[in-house]
Structure 1
Amino acid sequence: MKKKVYILEDDPDLRDILAHVLGKEYEIGMSEELDVSDVVVFQPDLILMDHGIGNSTSEQNIRSLKNNIPGFGIPIILFSGHPDISRLAIDPLVAGIIRKPAGISEVRAHLESFFSTQ
């Protein structure tokens, strides 16, 4: 059974490219803004989250997931060009960071590394 990756990215072109390329190896769910009910229904094994989604940040989105999904514990990889992304990735659910711009091979390598330890 394919692992499930939920892509939370507001750039539609990047989101579509990631979904197309990663969809060969993973079951993909995606959204341009956080929709807690989508996450609940999709039940991802991992969330690939941009730091800045519209007017919200990854910290706000993680807080929303924790506050609205009882026992929320889905690991998150932050995917962002924010200059302080390492400093922002302090939540225990953040399993890694990928700095933009990153090539598809780098994204794949991060996901493969993450899932190989699960």
Structure 2
Amino acid sequence: MKKTILIFDDDVNILELCFIILTDWGYHVEVSETSHDIIEKVSKVNPDAILMDNWIPEIGGIKATQLLKSHPDYKHIPVIYFSANNDIQSLAKIAGADAILAKPFDLDELENLIKSILKAK
């Protein structure tokens, strides 16, 4: 059975690129350009992992990740915080994310990170 990756990013180019790449690698991919309804989206999609951008409307990646990680049914879902922000390490820590991926990212780095986070799950 295919693993599902849910991507939250307001940059449609990033969403399209990640969708194509992850689909080619055999994952089922769902995308969202906003994060304010993260709990509803996660309950609908039931992802195995989430890629979360920092600068995403309405509430931002930190708040969205905190909402997810404080929810008893979804706190186990690994979140990869991905951003071009120089302070990604501390932002991800504040958010409660499980891993980080700095933009721009290397495709091998993306693939290895997803594989390792899914294996650890």
Q: TM-score, normalised by structure 1?
A: 0.86
Identity %: 31
Query: Where does the alignment leave 5 or more consecutive residues of structure 1 unmatched?
Result: none
Matching residue of 1:71: 73
Query: Where does the alignment leave 5 or more consecutive residues of structure 2 unmatched?
Result: none
Alignment RMSD: 1.9
Cα offset, 1:86, TM superposition:
0.4
The size of the alignment, in residue pairs, is: 117
1:105 maps onto 2:108 in alignment:
yes
SS in 1 for 2:10: coil
Tell me which protein shows more helix as a share of its residues. Answer: 2
Cα offset, 1:90, TM superposition:
1.6
Return the alpha-carbon distance in structure 1 between the equivalents of residues 11 and 116 of structure 2. Answer: 25
Cα gap change, 1:92 to 1:53, in 2 (>3 Å): closer
Return the alpha-carbon distance in structure 1 between the equivalents of residues 85 and 56 of structure 2. Answer: 12
Tell me which protein shows more strand as a share of its residues. Answer: 1
1:33 maps onto 2:38 in alignment:
no
